[in-house]
Amino acid sequence: MDETEKIEMLADALKIAKKILAGDIDPNIGCAKLGEINRDLDWPTELAAFGLLAHEQHDHENIGITAENCIPEIIDECTKLVSSHS
């Protein structure tokens, strides 16, 4: 992947984060997309939390972690991402 593609993918991540914050996209669905971008970019620091949150959203109910209770953390990470690029 060349540098231009990486820049475009990061721009896409910012757009998704902004849509989550605006309420235009479901936070769990947006987080899954951000997690995919994170993986494709090889876990950059600024997106790494989304990789973890995307993973935690499913199959962790037995330890009390659900998609719904991940939403506040998703919103918080989106806020951090957007503010770091303002």
Structure confidence by residue, pLDDT tens digits, 25-70: 999 999 999 999 999 999 999 999 999 999 877 766 666 778 789 8
So what's the pLDDT on residue 62? 67
So what's the pLDDT on residue 66? 83
So what's the pLDDT on residue 57? 72
The torsion angles phi and psi of 29, rounded to 5 degrees, stand at: -65, -45
So what's the pLDDT on residue 70? 87
Q: Distance between CA atoms of 44 and 58, rounded to whole angstroms? A: 22
Q: Nearest Cα to 49, choosing from 59, 60, 64, 34?
A: 34
Q: Distance between CA atoms of 44 and 33, rounded to whole angstroms? A: 15
Asked if 78 and 56 count as a contact pair (C-beta separation under 8 A), the reply is no
- State the pLDDT confidence band at 19, using cuts at 50, 70 and 90: very high
Q: Structure pTM?
A: 0.90
Q: Is the pLDDT of residue 83 over 70?
A: yes
